[in-house]
Structure 1
Amino acid sequence: MDSSSSLPIVSEAPGFIRIYEDGTVERLVDREIVPPSSQDDNFDEEKEGVASKDVVLDPQTGVFVRFYLPRLEVTNGKGRVPVLLYFHGGGFCIGSAASPVYHHYLNQVATDAKVICLSVDYRRAPEHRLPAAYDDCFGVLEWLDRQAMVLEGVSVDPWLASHADFSKVFLAGDSAGANILHQVGIRASGRNWDGLCLQGAILVHPFFGGAERIGCELLAEAEVDAFNTMTDAIWSISLPAEADRDHPFCNPVGPRSPALSTLVYPRMLIFVAGKDLLRDRGIWYYEEIKKAGIDTDLVMTEGESHVFHLFNPKSENVPLMMKRIFDFIHSSSENPNH
């Protein structure tokens, strides 16, 4: 980025991302990527740990999905397990399905939660403002439904064909990924999902906002830690041009947002962290989801910060979080909206 270092910065989320006068975008964190662990469709899950591979779904946009196939114990001769569609975080503008932190985490999720994970690499702001990420992630859900229906002319991925239980499909995401999960759930309402059953959604430390600051956003620490400066900058480069902070993409319970009762998820699990300055938004969202009549649980992890499970994987709270995720997935009953 030497060519841009002398140019004026027109927009910046300090320590996160910079946009220069010539339009160059400099991402300051989470720039490393790692390859999948295996591209072998003949992976023997009885002998290996977790295999992964990348499947490009849209060559024009570059959107791809990283699969994680865990070692499976054959059950009833089939060895089919639930499918978890995952949306990574990063304020809509950094992060990747191929970043080391997500690659490591989703390997662990596939193993511990006993699911096939599909992690979506969607287009990012500011080059692609919202709703580009929503479009990409909803498109992957539609693709997954076509995979489940095994339509004539549709090439079905062999890992899904052999091991996916499409009657148990879950969506999950952290931070901005949890925001995306909400929007995908709104879009999915009223659609015929003929091939799969959407059993539930898991939101980890969701990234929401609003025109009026609430709760911990009003505390002095929000200014000292530059939290409000950071989130303001992220929304300014992620939302559609001229959108305010009560836009439905930012504020899911705002005056112009669709009713939460239209969400397609029959069950939801929401995590918040005690030291996360986004926690009160997550709690408010949970309370409104409950009012909308959706079966929802809230898990508060005291003493932890935003997405601690990614950056402090040795925390004693990480196994507890994983157990809640496992229990949520494997205690689910059949969804009548098949």
Structure 2
Amino acid sequence: MEETPSSLPIVFESPGFLRIYEDGTVERLIDRGTVPPSTQDDNFDEEKEGVASKDVLLDPQTGVFVRLYLPRLQVTDVKQKVPILVYFHGGGFCVESAASPLYHSYLNKVATEAKVIGVSVEYRRAPEHRLPAAYDDCFGVLEWLVRQAEAAEGVTIDPWLASHADFSKVFVAGDSAGGNIVHQVCIRASARNWDGLCLQGAILVHPFFAGEERIECELGTGAEVEGILKVVDGIWSISLPEGADRDHPFCNPDGPHSLALSTLVCPRTLVIVAEKDFLRDRGILYYEALKKAGKDVDLVMTEGENHVFHLLNPKSENAPLMMKRISDFMNSSSDH
């Protein structure tokens, strides 16, 4: 009889988050399941319906796919072109999915409110695939979009993108670990000069960063802070490359081993933090470092809210205000 995970010795545990057993089995304690896309119909009538979505497999070997979201558009004689938002989900690099109910619901809202084509990325997760696997997969999506934009020979062109995507107005966004991924993708994109695609801006929501030296929010005492630190440190220990510490560039974007932020090429950046979020001060540090490097960056603080409140409590009165700020950022940036 096959052993169940619970009968095997646990070799790693991040309380309430994830366990790893002696045989390598990973048990994700936060598992919301998945939901299917709204429709697979390429003939979706965007004048009559809300938001359509479909999954496009990019790499059969890794299982990486994107879930595309097409909002309702006002179609005139010339097919309306709208910006593209490439979105990286959170979950500490270890849990959640582009197809989870939380993210499917959220991307539907973003596509509706901001009138953008959503490209939500399903990337490989730790601990089975340590960083930089997630970065490789997410950056690969930008390169796929470049091939779509250029209609490269031998590339299957997605009809939604062909009809409605404005490749000169591309944004990248993500929350928590997804915010971390945004930074790494922008660092990689800074070294590229794409003809067919223009990255207009980056949005980091409650980004997941850390460092070896503890900062103010991490120096508190008490069971709550200790518990959060145990989870956070545990996540980094199974996500970073073997032997890396929290000053690794993947973890600390302005650390002693990281590329200077002056090398980051991104027209505009929006950093969003929440007042009660344990990661708040790390996000503020990132904003301040970008500002010091001479970058065009804005900071938004949501008072009275905790980490990813907009996903966990979408009925919060602050959730639509944050959505409007994100929508305004993309629409104003696209006019520059």
TM bucket (normalised to shorter chain) is over 0.9
**Structure 1 residue 221, shift from structure 2 partner:** 5.0
**CA separation in 1, counterparts of 2:232 and 2:74?**
44
- Give the match for residue 214 of structure 2: 213
**Structure 1 residue 76, shift from structure 2 partner:** 6.4
> What secondary structure, in the 3-state scheme, does the structure 1 residue paired with 2:294 have?
coil
**CA separation in 1, counterparts of 2:172 and 2:182?**
7
Alignment of 1:235-314 (within 5 A): 235-314=236-315
**CA separation in 2, counterparts of 1:152 and 1:330?**
32
**Structure 1 residue 334, shift from structure 2 partner:** 5.7
- Give the match for residue 118 of structure 2: 117
Preserved contact between residue 216 and residue 222 of structure 1 (Cα < 8 Å): no
One-letter identity of the residue aligned with 2:31: D
Task: State the superposition RMSD in angstroms.
Answer: 1.4
Once the two structures are superposed, residues 106-132 of structure 1 have per-residue CA deviations (whole angstroms, 9 ceiling, x without a partner) of 000000011000000000000000000
**Structure 1 residue 332, shift from structure 2 partner:** 1.3
For these two proteins, the number of residue pairs brought into alignment is 335
Once the two structures are superposed, residues 87-109 of structure 1 have per-residue CA deviations (whole angstroms, 9 ceiling, x without a partner) of 00000000100000000000000
**Structure 1 residue 192, shift from structure 2 partner:** 1.6
**CA separation in 2, counterparts of 1:135 and 1:255?**
23
**Structure 1 residue 225, shift from structure 2 partner:** 6.0
Structure 1 vs Structure 2: percent identity of aligned residues?
77
- Give the match for residue 10 of structure 1: 11
Which consecutive unaligned segments of at least 5 residues does structure 1 have? none
Tell me, yes or no, if structure 1 residue 178 matches structure 2 residue 183: no
Preserved contact between residue 32 and residue 101 of structure 2 (Cα < 8 Å): no
TM-score after normalising by structure 1:
0.96
**CA separation in 1, counterparts of 2:274 and 2:115?**
25
Which consecutive unaligned segments of at least 5 residues does structure 2 have? none
> What secondary structure, in the 3-state scheme, does the structure 2 residue paired with 1:246 have?
coil
**Structure 1 residue 223, shift from structure 2 partner:** 4.3
- Give the match for residue 322 of structure 1: 323
- Give the match for residue 93 of structure 2: 92
- Give the match for residue 227 of structure 1: 228
**CA separation in 2, counterparts of 1:74 and 1:61?**
37
**CA separation in 2, counterparts of 1:329 and 1:265?**
13
Alignment of 1:63-82 (within 5 A): 63-74=64-75, 77-82=78-83
**CA separation in 1, counterparts of 2:161 and 2:73?**
13
> What secondary structure, in the 3-state scheme, does the structure 1 residue paired with 2:4 have?
helix
Preserved contact between residue 218 and residue 225 of structure 2 (Cα < 8 Å): no
More deviation, 23-32/99-108: 23-32
Once the two structures are superposed, residues 118-148 of structure 1 have per-residue CA deviations (whole angstroms, 9 ceiling, x without a partner) of 0000000000000000000001110111111
One-letter identity of the residue aligned with 2:25: T
**CA separation in 2, counterparts of 1:269 and 1:310?**
18
TM-score after normalising by structure 2:
0.97
**CA separation in 2, counterparts of 1:118 and 1:145?**
13
